[in-house]
Amino acid sequence: MRKFFVLLKKEIKELLTPVMVVPFALMVGVFALMGQFVDLDEIVGEEAGETFKIVWINEDAGSLSKRLFLDLEKQGFEILEIKGELPADFFEVVKFARENEALAIVKVPPKFSTNLRLMKFPKVEIYNLVKDFSIISSINSGKVDVLKSVLGDVLSALLISERLSSLNPEFLKNPINAEDHVIIGNKHAKISFNEVMIFVQSQNTVVPILLILVIIIAAQMVAVAVASEKENKTFEILLSSPVNRKSIVFAKILAAALVAFLFSGFYMVGFNFYMSGFGMDFSAGAGQGALVDLGVVIQPFGYLLIAGSLFLATLCALAIAIILGILAEDVKGVQMVTTPLIILIIIPYMITLFVDVNSLSLWAKYLIYAIPFSHPFLALTDAMTGKENLIIYGLFYQGAVFLLLIVFASKIFTSDKVLTIKLKWGKK
Amino acid sequence: MKKNLLNVRKLVKKYGEFRAVKGISFEVSEGEVFALVGPNGAGKSTTLKTLATILSMTSGKVLLDGFDLVKDEYEVRERISYLPEEAGAYKNLTGIDYLRFMADLALDDRKLIAEAVEFAVEITALGKRLEDKIKTYSKGMTRKLLLARTIMSRPKLAILDEPTSGLDVINAFEIRKIIRELVNEGISVILSSHNMLEVEFLCDRMAIINEGEIIVSGTAAALKKKYKSHNLEEVFVKAVKIKN
């Protein structure tokens, strides 16, 4: 056992070199900085109470367009009206709008009010001023969509009040008080499905990235650790030392797992800084009663199961990676030999990201469950939907796969295949 | 008469269908320096790797200090120390950390570990440079460090594959001096080399190996006499030609 810890200490020392640590530490700083630059609240200005600027061109002489203008102002829109003759070149208007940081130009055509009263679906032209294709631009574009719905809303209210002055337009537009309820399994809560989805997706965005990172970083590290032993010609000395070969395998696996968890922690801290710039605080809302009632807020036991699933998936990846590391001629070759493993890790991630595994055909479902790396991704949803039993079965399965893999890896290490596999590959 | 430390009988090593070593036999006595000499691909390194327990033999029997190479692998490893050809060390460790790490693996007793490190520090003669990372070392410095690592635990048998390969004259000379002094420490040596002068200077006996077979073995003087040659190079060329 003493020699195992000697090996473990050396493996960790080899992995925690400045070349490895500094980029990760820098990443935290870079993400934090990016989070500061991309402070969405400030840019979008919603919470800061900033108004939504639009340029208004009214060619209608009727009353409805005038009332629409006033109502939009009441709704908080800052309207820059172009009065009098329109410039011959429409891009003069665009230039004016951009100079004033307006998000859209709204053009109300002649006879708008008349056509509206005649229910002829009059056209309103809305020009969306696109700066670029960043996330912020897409959010601004969403605000233009809000403008469209506000236009429709305001006009409906105006027409209703004209025609049915005795009735409350708000009531006519929305005569029922719909109360959203969501039922998941046998749990029920008074909340909209949309709110549940936003919360679940926030969890489903960050946690799988963490899972992928831990597994891939760990797998790469252990494969590199073995390949660099071969490349630096230190392997033969190690193998001829009076040390149990299984200790060498376990020390490499454990060191890579510990360092990968550490690096993933760094990454997630940085990522959290970055995402908080977008106003996405993933811990927020965890205490919301309705979400707790629905069981979508993962409880400590659920997290424990997910952690167990992640741990076993990482061990499986490490056991495969250590075998692949033996096949690599040198450190450069690691990338090539570990590619199939990385694909095997990414496939379940992609599948669980887009579809519900239960909706797949039976063979596809079994195939997904057969991949030990699928289980942490599935565990996440299972923990949210109260299917802890499935996670526990998964843990047993992953444990069995790991045992098989580690026996195989140890067998290679205790035989001369650890050296001759490369020889055979090189010769043929 | 000195006791046999290593007894190799009809050692065969196959890689698939290829027979790299074809049933060779030899012995190494206690306190003896024995050389395996042969052209590239003759089977020298394969033999040494097999003796170092990192390759498994296909057939044959090898006893080291009474322990069977196959059945008593761990006991054999406790009694040998292997220096591969062009071996490297962990570049991100300092020289002294490397020696401590390897001593920790080779030995169990704290006192012996400390003594082994002290012995290795003395052999390397690297002084303060041992506090530097190995990646800053020259080839000669690394080789000295590795040789010190090989013998610091005072193994019964040091297995040295091309110990001076690629070194300049001064470094090669120093390494040979260290190897020659090993006998005084009670360490037996089996080494491989292409350098006939080195073999003549270092070794008590040698075996010429070609295409996986030992052609002839004996002391340098006996072989020179047998092949009517003035030096070992001539002996080597004649022996290989006659065999072919």
Residue A237 contacts B where some CB pair is shorter than 8 Å: yes
User: Cβ contacts (< 8 Å) between B52 and chain A: which residues?
Assistant: 236, 240
Q: Which of B138, B99, B126, B129 is nearest to B115 (CA)?
A: B99
Is 70 exceeded by the pLDDT of residue A346? Answer: yes
**Nearest-5° Cα angle at A161, A159 to A162:** 65
A79-83, A181-185, A250-254, B206-210: least confident range:
A181-185
For range A364-378, the mean pLDDT: 90
Residue B104, min C-alpha distance to chain A (Å) = 7
User: Cβ contacts (< 8 Å) between A240 and chain B: which residues?
Assistant: 52-54, 77, 80-82, 159
User: Cβ contacts (< 8 Å) between B143 and chain A: which residues?
Assistant: none
Query: What mean pLDDT value characterizes chain B?
Result: 89
B82: helix, strand or coil: strand
Q: How confident is the model at residue A426 (pLDDT cuts 50, 70, 90)?
A: very low
Contact A391, A382 (CB under 8 A): yes
What pLDDT is stored for residue A25 in this prediction? 75
Instruction: Please state the domain extents for chain B.
Output: 4-88+156-243
Q: How confident is the model at residue A428 (pLDDT cuts 50, 70, 90)?
A: very low
**All structural domains of chain A:** 2-37+187-427 (no CATH), 43-177 (3.40.1710.10)
- Nearest Cα residue in chain A from B45: A236
Neighbours of A21 (CB within 10 A): 15
Q: What is the CATH class of B4-88+156-243?
A: alpha beta
Alpha-carbon distance of A296 to A288, in angstroms, equals 10
Instruction: Verify whether the Cβ–Cβ distance B54 to A239 is below 8 Å.
Output: yes
Which two structure tokens, joined as six digits, stand for A28?
């935290």
DSSP string of B117-170?
Answer: HHHHHHHHT-GGGGGSBGGGS-HHHHHHHHHHHHHHT--SEEEEESTTTT--HH
Residue A164 φ then ψ, to 5°: -125, 70
Is 60 exceeded by the pLDDT of residue A363? Answer: yes
Is 50 exceeded by the pLDDT of residue B8? Answer: yes
- Which letter does DSSP use for residue A183 in this model? E
Contact B166, B138 (CB under 8 A): no
Which two structure tokens, joined as six digits, stand for A232?
């630096």
- Nearest Cα residue in chain B from A232: B88
Is 50 exceeded by the pLDDT of residue A282? Answer: no
Residue A241 contacts B where some CB pair is shorter than 8 Å: yes
Q: How confident is the model at residue A190 (pLDDT cuts 50, 70, 90)?
A: confident
- Which letter does DSSP use for residue A359 in this model? G
For range A1-24, the mean pLDDT: 83
What pLDDT is stored for residue A41 in this prediction? 52
Neighbours of A183 (CB within 10 A): 9
What pLDDT is stored for residue B2 in this prediction? 73
pLDDT in tens, B60-114: 999 999 999 999 999 999 999 999 987 889 888 899 999 999 999 999 889 999 9
pLDDT in tens, A202-238: 767 666 777 787 788 888 888 888 888 888 889 899 9
What pLDDT is stored for residue A349 in this prediction? 84
Q: How confident is the model at residue A165 (pLDDT cuts 50, 70, 90)?
A: confident
Interface of B with A (CB under 8 A): 15-16, 49, 52-56, 74, 77-78, 80-84, 86-93, 97, 101-102, 104-106, 108, 146, 149, 159
For range A329-351, the mean pLDDT: 85
Is 60 exceeded by the pLDDT of residue A46? Answer: no
Of A277 and A112, the one with more pLDDT: A112
Query: What mean pLDDT value characterizes chain A?
Result: 82
Is 50 exceeded by the pLDDT of residue A23? Answer: yes
What is each CA distance from A283 to A191, A206, A297, A376, in whole angstroms?
A: 19, 11, 10, 20
Residue A414, min C-alpha distance to chain B (Å) = 9
What is each CA distance from A320 to A4, A20, A225, A406, in whole angstroms?
A: 21, 22, 13, 8
User: Cβ contacts (< 8 Å) between B17 and chain A: which residues?
Assistant: none
